[in-house]
A and B are shown apart, each in its own frame.
Chain A
Amino acid sequence: MVTKDEMMKIAILSKLFVAEEDMDKLTKDMSEIISFADTINNASDEGTDFDNINNLSNVLREDCVVPSLDREQILANAKDSDDGCFLVKNIMK
């Protein structure tokens, strides 16, 4: 069972606003999803440790210099930029 308070906390961690009028439905949906997820607790604990899908291991190669992306092009997708940088509001006074 997921509570409204927990939902508020999770929304903050997710950097999302949840409107007051949507809270009841969302809490109900999440409770249903979580109780569905709870079925895994019936499984025995002798689970095999899982590292990655194909048991991949690191492959090392020589580092080499290749052309990078163009700054102007990168900034073209930003809504606000200035002097070759992404622009955001002050985070410190």
Chain B
Amino acid sequence: MSESKIARLHAMLQNKEISCTELTQAYLDAIEKDNAALNAYVTATPETALNTAKAVDEKIAKGESLHLLEGIPMTLKDNISTNGIRTTCCSKILEDYVPIYDASVWKILKSRNAVLLGKTNMDEFAMGSSCETSYFGGAKNPHSISHVAGGSSGGVASAVGGNLAVYGLGSDTGGSIRQPASFCGIVGLKPTYGAVSRFGLIAYASSFDQIGPITATVEDTAIVFDAVSEYDTMDSTSQGRKGEPVCNTLKNDIKGMKIGIAKEYFDGVREDVKQAVEQAIRVYQSLGAEIVYFDLPALKYALPVYYILACAEASSNLGRYDGIRYGYKADSYSDVNDMIKKTRSNGFGEEVKRRILLGTYVLSSGYYDAYYKKAQNLRGTIVKAFKNAFESCDVILAPTVPMTAFENGHAVSDPVETYLTDICTVPVNICGLPAVSVPCGCDAKGLPIGMQLIGNNFSESKILNAAWQYENAANLFKPTDFGVKL
């Protein structure tokens, strides 16, 4: 039976088979040894980790019982604010920025004695699909270091896939949790918009951004999601989890569950990826699920709608970087305006500048109606199309990415070509829906293939239930050669 890595390590800690300090040290040693190859971490926090481990060991010595996540070594994407620990968004402009407050998700996990090993690599300001726009260079895929880990949460996926963390939190604006999870052969959940607080997440596109877990197994994802999906007064879009913990229904029978397939999700998808997802459909049939086919023509507008709206929001959100209050500041300048321009021009990387310019263009007078307003209306059309789809099915099954991990350096050459690889992931963010990516096979080179289960708003319990049943039946997890073997 598919088992939870978190639950297994928790039992080892509680039964005193290993101390939390030993467990933490094993991960810190592995980071020391393997991070040079994977480039998953941009900041390691051994002191914080060992201090927490000591506190957990004291609790164990006193015979106190631990929360499931207590003492489990983990990581955070470097756009999630950590009080007193450098948070860079992997940008030169925030290279030495040290937050003075914690993101709400980290506050929750810290209160449970989560062991923070460090902050992980990402595309600069989460803008990219390969992690290669990072100021610190891209994270590598633990299944083949000549390939990318994916993006933008590439560092978390590389660390979890490469056993340099048990789990991590990433953020997903257009696929940034699911795509790297798919490339690295692990599980990644983009929760419903509003289910997990975003207070302290450095903003890219506020109506799309969502924090979620990246883990080795579906049950681990459910455990972490249950822990962090709290209502938060500090985030005006927060609603928290609706209903009982998802762990309660994770292993339910799925006989009669209606799984929807939209053919548009398979347009332009590579043949081996298509076959892997079709094989998963047969697994679901054998589990007694009912397969429902339908059309989703609105999907063809999803990508341009996403890039227009996300870049518009980014151009506004990133207006705050002016060199005055935090971050990089240009050395020499003639006046304030010159200082701001030089700071931004030297501090931002190429892709970030491209998206700011695109966002400014679609919001500028003369183009606002043709692009921004039109895209906003189409967003409504896409939301409606998904709403209709969920009248005939419980979850939608689709590929996560049309292909497997790119070779290093391949993604940066052509922006439009790279944007097209987000075709399967962006619709969910446009509609605020939850979706989980799970491994469903490998290509000829041994690189993982992922598929995603998409649900209606606040139906994380359904998609994770379906994901767990598949994982348990198919058992396609493929270990890597890196990190801690536990």
Contact A54 B374 (CB under 8 A): no
Known: A37-B304, A53-B432. A77 touches B326 (CB 8 A): yes
Contact B431 A33 (CB under 8 A): no
Contact A43 B378 (CB under 8 A): yes
Contact B336 A89 (CB under 8 A): yes
Within 8 A of A (CB), among B351-377: 353-354, 356-358, 360-362, 364, 370-371, 374-377
Within 8 A of B (CB), among A47-65: 47-50, 52-54, 56, 61
A10 to B377, CA, bound (A): 24
Contact A48 B377 (CB under 8 A): yes
Residue in A2, A15, A61 whose CB lies within 8 Å of B344: A15
Contact B362 A47 (CB under 8 A): no
Residue in B100, B301, B322, B336 whose CB lies within 8 Å of A91: B336
Residue in B194, B237, B308 whose CB lies within 8 Å of A37: B308
Closest to A44 in B: B381
Known: A47-B374, A89-B336. A33 touches B381 (CB 8 A): no
A1 at interface, CB cutoff 8 A: no
A54 to B387, CA, bound (A): 12
Closest to A86 in B: B324
Residue in B307, B319, B333 whose CB lies within 8 Å of A33: B307
Contact B325 A86 (CB under 8 A): yes
B294 at interface, CB cutoff 8 A: no
Most buried by A among B194, B233, B340, B358: B358
Contact A78 B324 (CB under 8 A): yes
Interface size on B, residues (CB 8 A): 65
Most buried by A among B100, B193, B300: B100
Contact B304 A36 (CB under 8 A): yes
Q: How far is the CB of B373 from chain A (nearest CB, A)?
A: 9
Contact A48 B381 (CB under 8 A): yes
Contact B344 A16 (CB under 8 A): yes
Q: Sorted from nearest, which 10 A-B pairs have the closest CB atoms?
A: A47-B377, A48-B380, A53-B432, A50-B380, A77-B326, A79-B329, A17-B345, A14-B360, A50-B379, A73-B100
Given contacts A15-B337, A36-B307, A40-B374, 9 further A-B contacts (CB under 8 A): A16-B356, A36-B303, A50-B380, A53-B431, A54-B432, A73-B100, A74-B100, A78-B325, A89-B339
**Could you show 30 A-B contacts with beta carbons less than 8 Å apart?**
A9-B364, A10-B360, A16-B345, A16-B353, A16-B357, A17-B342, A26-B354, A30-B354, A30-B361, A34-B358, A36-B307, A37-B371, A38-B304, A39-B300, A40-B305, A40-B371, A40-B375, A40-B378, A41-B370, A45-B377, A47-B377, A49-B377, A54-B457, A61-B233, A78-B324, A78-B325, A78-B326, A80-B329, A88-B324, A89-B333
